[in-house]
Amino acid sequence: MKHFLILFFLLSPHADRLLASSPSRSADQVSVQADAFQRGLTALKDDRVADALEEFTTAEREHPDDARVRNFRGIVLANLGQNAEAAAEYRESIRLDPRMEDAYRNLGFLKWTEHQLEPAREALERAVQLSPGDSFAHYYLGRVLLEAQRYLQAIQELEISRAPLPADAGFSIQVTAGYIALGRREDARKSLDHLVTIPLNVSR
């Protein structure tokens, strides 16, 4: 799972704004939290995960009610394989700000990697409700629904995302099964053609 959540951050429409600005309330209130948060964002962008964790931990200690800090600390913990701690941070971020779409998306992705399909679906559905244009949320919601064999909704979400098909044999088999179940024979044929080009040892 490493690098996926960092990629979410880098491609987020909010990433440039977060990196360019301080989260402090006013220009003349430069706080420890602002400095630590900004340094954490920079470290995360540079894939210095341990440094990012240290900075976000400092920011969280100083301002535990900042939902953004909680979300980003969750991203770092997930990349370090500390899934339970990451999930707790995402949930706390959501509690502090129920409209924190990124936290729902990150929690849903995390639960998907753990094959916990129902909590993953719930979180990702909330993410797309809050941000209908989030292609990553639509894509991973589609993956979750595909694994649950809810083919109609799965294919719809994958098509909304417009994400390219991954070089993943397991995914191609699942999506082919979905096309067949929906009677979309031409799409099933194209998916099978794609499948034969994928090395069997390539994973998601």
In this model, does residue 138 exceed pLDDT 50? Answer: yes
pLDDT digits (tens, 9 = 90+) for 28-37: 334 555 589 9
Q: What is the pLDDT of residues 48-102, one digit of tens each?
A: 999 999 999 999 999 899 999 999 999 999 999 999 999 999 999 999 999 999 9
Q: Are the C-beta atoms of 8 and 109 separated by less than 8 Å?
A: yes
Whole-number pLDDT of residue 26: 41
The distance between the two most distant Cα atoms of the chain, rounded to a whole number of Å, is: 63
Structural domains in the chain, sorted by start: 4-163 (1.25.40.10), 164-204 (no CATH)
What single string gives the DSSP state of each residue in 29-55? ---HHHHHHHHHHHHHHTT-HHHHHHH
pLDDT at position 13 over 80:
no
pTM value > 0.85 = no
